[in-house]
Structure 1
Amino acid sequence: MPTRLADLKVKLFTDGADKAQIVEMAKQPWIAGFTTNPSLLKKAGVSDYEAYARDVVAAVPDKPISFEVFSDELDEMHAQAQVIASWGRNVYVKLPVTNTKGEGLYEMVRALSRDGVKINMTAIFAEDQIVKAIDALDGGAPACVSVFAGRLADFGIDYRPIMRDAVARARRTKNVEIIWASTREVFNVIEADEIGCHIITAPADILKKLAAIGTRTGAEISLDAVKAFCADAEAAGLTLRTKLTDAAQ
């Protein structure tokens, strides 16, 4: 198990669409790339997608950044992927594993990848999706497969065997990397590192906690918690009448 940030072998990507935050995190040498999605764009208040994306790429031209298509029609998704790919050499086009009708994008991804488009195939949860995604991308341009480990855990599904299998399959290729996505906590980074995952993407607030790895023992953390409870009780002005307080009066 890694005992400090410098011991991690997994590449760390920041998941978010706030430009100021992206620029801030890009200054950190241990941040290797960035991922965005339509939900994060909405949260960041992005309305002019292309202007925003080109601005971000200009600010961070030397680290991979994923931008996702948003159409639900296959032909338009393909056209959007080509436009997004033109935004920069460091841009990865995020394409979901299916559209909302459940139509698979594997053949589209295969064609785009062999045309030189860097792909981040996303919204992947099932083993058969992993197999088909890696097969479609194998032999093409540099590519990633984003497996949503955190969301699987939210539904009580053990993501560990799925992630191990995905990593093993990807490592048999020359161009496909696995992204551990929907990260929920710092320990997920440790898990991803131990499994041998290529990349983990996480919100900035989680990544910023990594500097604390190995700096505290369980006993020290316990004492910190007790001190915090005590300070908060005093700050809240909590009182409770007991025999001892009555005697003191």
Structure 2
Amino acid sequence: MKKVEDLKVQIFADGADKAGMLEMYAKPYIKGLTTNPTLMKKVGITDYRAFCKDILTSIADKPLSFEVFSDDFDEMEKQALEIASWGDNVYVKIPVTNTKQETCYALVRKLAAKKVKLNVTAIMTLAQVRDVVAALDPNVPSYVSVFAGRIADTGRDPIPLMMAAVEMLKIAPAAELIWASPRELLNIFQADDIGCQVITVTNDILKKLSLVGYDLDTYSLDTVKMFYNDATAAGFKL
């Protein structure tokens, strides 16, 4: 089994808790960070601009993605240009459609022409991958974020789709494919195996990295002890 340090896939930490983000940022195997409005809402962030600018005072040398949150493309463009101005390491997350299912491709093309580094997100089909790649400037760094975990949630195996997406991105040399919304640690190794460049991982999964290569007999015993200790602590009797 490969060690984490031997993986070619870049691991990005996905979160919005400042302490957690800084903890992950300090780890050498974390190559970038991402967040989104849902994660921010969960931790109680109310001032979007203030949070982003604050975290950028500590994280300036690894890619960091912030998402627009308007449903109107003109307003999205304004937000994107402001977000992009916050730092050279900032990527602007643009959803592949708005809530009316109107596609973002024209906006992506416009922003890419202005050399904005983009992270096009919430992608789940190869048609979306194809159209996003066509809209990008092939020479401007960007991410194409495919939600492999959500695809798996529907009972579909995401690996064939992700493998096809890897091939589709070859016409855009500055673009990298993100395996987004992983559901388990194994997904990191699966992403690496197919040549996916980036995987975004939440802290709860990242905490399991210490288990990579762990002896299974020992892990079995640990599990038995956990059940026993919890039953004892609960005072169960029959």
1:217 shift after superposition? 2.5
Aligned length: 238
In 2: Cα distance, 1:148 partner to 1:195 partner: 15
In 2: Cα distance, 1:179 partner to 1:221 partner: 31
Partner of 1:228: 226
CA contact (8 A) 1:114 1:140 kept: no
1:181 shift after superposition? 0.6
In 1: Cα distance, 2:211 partner to 2:6 partner: 13
In 2: Cα distance, 1:189 partner to 1:123 partner: 19
Normalised by the length of structure 2, the TM-score is: 0.96
In 2: Cα distance, 1:230 partner to 1:205 partner: 24
Alpha-carbon displacement from aligned partner over 1:91-120 (angstroms, at most 9, x marks no partner)? 000000011111111121012112110000
Partner of 1:239: 237
Residue 182 in 1 paired to residue 181 in 2?
Answer: yes
In 2: Cα distance, 1:207 partner to 1:167 partner: 24
Partner of 1:86: 85
Alpha-carbon displacement from aligned partner over 1:105-154 (angstroms, at most 9, x marks no partner)? 11210121121100000010011001111111142410001100111111
SS across alignment from 1:95: strand
Alpha-carbon displacement from aligned partner over 1:158-193 (angstroms, at most 9, x marks no partner)? 111110011122134211101111111111111111
Partner of 2:28: 29
Residue pairs, 1:20-169, within 5 angstroms: 20-169=19-168
Max Rg structure: 1
In 2: Cα distance, 1:93 partner to 1:122 partner: 10
In 2: Cα distance, 1:69 partner to 1:140 partner: 22
In 2: Cα distance, 1:239 partner to 1:44 partner: 39
CA contact (8 A) 1:171 1:177 kept: no
1:201 shift after superposition? 0.4
In 2: Cα distance, 1:201 partner to 1:87 partner: 22
1:238 shift after superposition? 2.1
In 2: Cα distance, 1:156 partner to 1:72 partner: 29
Partner of 1:219: 217
In 2: Cα distance, 1:221 partner to 1:180 partner: 28
Partner of 1:19: 18
SS across alignment from 2:115: coil
Residue pairs, 1:193-204, within 5 angstroms: 193-204=192-203
Instruction: Show structure 1 runs of 5+ residues with no match.
Output: 241-249
In 1: Cα distance, 2:40 partner to 2:163 partner: 30
CA contact (8 A) 1:124 1:147 kept: yes
Alignment identity in percent?
A: 53
Matched AA of 2:21: I
1:31 shift after superposition? 0.5
In 2: Cα distance, 1:71 partner to 1:219 partner: 51
SS across alignment from 2:119: strand
1:196 shift after superposition? 1.1
CA contact (8 A) 2:185 2:205 kept: yes
Cα-Cα RMSD: 1.2
